């Protein structure tokens, strides 16, 4: 079985920066789409484009057979899935539930088990690629759960991303995303320190960016965030507060696995310092502020 | 004035992993080439291809009008340039001296001044792109010194690299390279921690590499060194011992400029621990060994 526009009613919970673009692609592809989000106004564009509003996750669960969530924090995921009015208790047998929030691997495991006990199929499928990746349907989607459920959802994932990889059993999508965030955290820190060094040394940072982007230091963060840092553009593509949440999950998972990750620990502490100084609602590139003074 | 094969005799000092490929490109382009290196056997391929051997830097200085050096450590640079038998004391007025070693910005400044006092033109022009970049003449070359000297050497640089950027006065090439190494240090650390996390979490690291290379965590280090780490291939493209030298220069420059670079400090301490455990002659990707156990 695969979810195509003729056999599917998609429910979409969470129409923030990422979710809104992602749900829009599904609607355009012809999938009947129901939406729910905390602040109804944020779903208005989708409603205008033909989506159906649902009052609660429970109503959503009863109306749809493939439900996607992308909300803020693990606590939100827990309440949407496992609360009394949540998806697991109210979904119809055989439905698929896909959490695309970056959340805890352990919670993904719990949701999978509780869903399974009720004849539901849960996947964890967090994404990378930022607001631009969501808009252009070029996300990297990292999926954990049962292979058959992955196969069923694949046509839907293909409307939102270009790199869609099955990573293994429940929680594996989240674990993969944690590896992704660890690499990003260190990468952003390196870009900040390199550009701050260049400025302090009296170099022209644009020329340095040109040289450094062409060799072994090249990275997505350098090419995409370097110019924003130098321009003092700290508008959020990805919120510092959400990144701190991700790094906290990664660090506690690493600690549980007895893996020492000093780079991750250091980067997390720097982002926390930035948040404490009022940067929680900035984009991650605002880390440059800690250095450039 | 520009150095073309008809008006130039190039001297090349240091035919190690990088220098050998770089000098080879100049020879192929038709430049008369004289070589000197500590261990003559290492220049044999170039001598067989038509290069002329010189016994000392002083002999080299008298025979050539554009002299390129790429040796190991700042102490080697200092002796080749400023020693009694060195380039500055023995070169002919108007000659160009180009140090492509990654070395100290302060030393580059000293060499520039002493060269200038004798009517010589010194440039600092370190490179990035590794052994592969050198072989394929696709290096990033970061140049400090006088603009006119840069212009004169440009045709020669173009035989070795694709990104050739004038960064400013003497020492600016080295400072740019320091920024480059800072970004790399943090990047390698992040790749190690991400892949070690993936293995500890029981994921298939190849699948994780596929997902993570496609989003905002993408980097040269991840794509080029990630697979070598996972394969346990720690052969040197770039030596740990040389990287520690670079990071030491970067850190002492940053400290002088009163710039706090905790990511750089941490990465340097990890590479030092690796070297203390016997990894000094491995490639930088061997940092993975500290994590993967």
Mean pLDDT (chain A) is 96
Provide φ and ψ at A180, rounded to 5°.
-60, -45
Compare CB distances from A212 to B180, B197, B291 and report the shortest one's residue.
B180
Q: Which of B20, B159, B177, B268 is the catalytic position?
A: B177
Compare CB distances from B217 to A187, A191, A215 and report the shortest one's residue.
A187
The whole-angstrom separation of Cα B10 and Cα B36 is: 11
Q: How confident is the model at residue A215 (pLDDT cuts 50, 70, 90)?
A: confident
* A125-165 pLDDT tens trace: 999 988 889 999 999 999 999 999 999 999 999 999 999 99
Q: Do the beta carbons of residue B124 and residue B108 sit within 8 Å? A: yes
Within an 8 Å CB–CB cutoff, is residue B158 touching chain A?
Answer: no
The whole-angstrom separation of Cα A225 and Cα A188 is: 8
Tell whether the model's pLDDT for residue A234 goes beyond 90. Answer: yes
Q: Which of A28, A113, A159, A177 is the catalytic position?
A: A177
Please report, rounded to a whole number, the percentage of residues in chain A having pLDDT higher than 70: 100
Question: Residue B130's pLDDT is what?
Answer: 84
Tell whether the model's pLDDT for residue A269 goes beyond 90. Answer: yes
Domains and CATH numbers, chain A: 10-172 (3.40.50.720), 180-291 (1.10.1040.10)
Model ipTM? 0.94
Q: Do the beta carbons of residue B145 and residue B123 sit within 8 Å? A: yes
Q: Is B38 left (phi over 0), alpha (psi -120 to 50) or beta?
A: alpha
Distance from CA of B107 to the nearest CA of A (A): 15
Task: Note the Cα B102 to chain centre separation in Å.
Answer: 5
Provide φ and ψ at A16, rounded to 5°.
-80, -155
Identify the three-state secondary structure at position A69.
Answer: strand
Residue of A17 and B176 predicted with greater confidence: B176
Q: Return the bridge partners of B142, or none.
A: B165
Tell whether the model's pLDDT for residue A235 goes beyond 90. Answer: yes
Q: Which residues of B touch A185 (CB under 8 A)?
A: 190
* A78-114 pLDDT tens trace: 999 999 999 999 999 999 999 999 999 999 999 999 9
Q: How confident is the model at residue B65 (pLDDT cuts 50, 70, 90)?
A: very high
* A168-208 pLDDT tens trace: 999 999 999 999 999 999 999 999 999 999 999 999 999 99
Between β-strands A52-53 and A96-99, what pairing exists: parallel, antiparallel or unpaired? unpaired
Within an 8 Å CB–CB cutoff, is residue A207 touching chain B?
Answer: yes
Which two tokens mark A290?
Answer: 């800690």
Mean pLDDT (chain B) is 96
Compare CB distances from B211 to A165, A189, A204 and report the shortest one's residue.
A165
Residue of B164, B181, B186 to mutate, testing the A interface (most A Cβ within 10 Å of its Cβ): B186
Assess whether B199 carries a catalytic annotation: no
Question: Residue B21's pLDDT is what?
Answer: 97
Question: Residue A293's pLDDT is what?
Answer: 81
A176–B198: do the CB atoms touch at under 8 Å?
yes
Question: Residue A17's pLDDT is what?
Answer: 86
Q: How confident is the model at residue B75 (pLDDT cuts 50, 70, 90)?
A: very high
Q: How confident is the model at residue B40 (pLDDT cuts 50, 70, 90)?
A: very high
Tell whether the model's pLDDT for residue B215 goes beyond 90. Answer: no
Q: How confident is the model at residue B237 (pLDDT cuts 50, 70, 90)?
A: confident
């Amino acid at each position: 079985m695969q979810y195509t526009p003729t056999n599917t009613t998609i429910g979409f919970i969470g129409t923030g920066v990422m979710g809104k673009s992602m749900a829009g692609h599904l609607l355009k592809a012809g999938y009947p789409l129901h939406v729910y989000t905390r602040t109804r106004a944020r779903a208005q564009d989708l409603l205008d484009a033909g989506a159906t509003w649902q009052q609660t996750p429970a109503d959503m669960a009863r109306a749809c057979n493939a439900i996607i969530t992308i909300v803020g924090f693990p606590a939100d995921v827990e309440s949407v899935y496992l609360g009394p009015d949540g998806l697991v208790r109210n979904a119809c047998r055989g439905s698929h539930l896909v959490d695309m929030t970056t959340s805890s691997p352990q919670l993904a495991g719990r949701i999978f088990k509780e869903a399974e006990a009720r004849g539901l199929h849960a996947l964890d499928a967090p994404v990378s690629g930022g607001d631009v990746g969501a808009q252009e349907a070029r996300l990297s989607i990292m999926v954990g759960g049962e292979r058959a459920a992955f196969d069923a959802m694949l046509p839907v994932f293909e409307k939102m991303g270009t790199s869609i990889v099955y990573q293994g059993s429940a929680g594996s999508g989240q674990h993969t995303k944690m590896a992704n965030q660890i690499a990003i955290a260190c990468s952003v820190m390196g870009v900040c320190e390199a550009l701050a060094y260049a400025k302090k040394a009296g170099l022209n940072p644009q020329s340095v960016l040109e040289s450094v982007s062409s060799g072994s230091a090249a990275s997505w963060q350098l090419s995409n965030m370097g110019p924003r840092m130098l321009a003092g553009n700290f508008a959020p593509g990805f919120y510092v507060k959400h990144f701190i949440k991700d790094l906290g999950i990664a660090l506690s998972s690493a600690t549980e696995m007895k893996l020492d990750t000093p780079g991750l620990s250091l980067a997390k502490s720097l982002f926390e310092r930035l948040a404490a100084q009022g940067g929680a609602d900035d984009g991650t590139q605002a880390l440059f502020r800690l250095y450039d003074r």
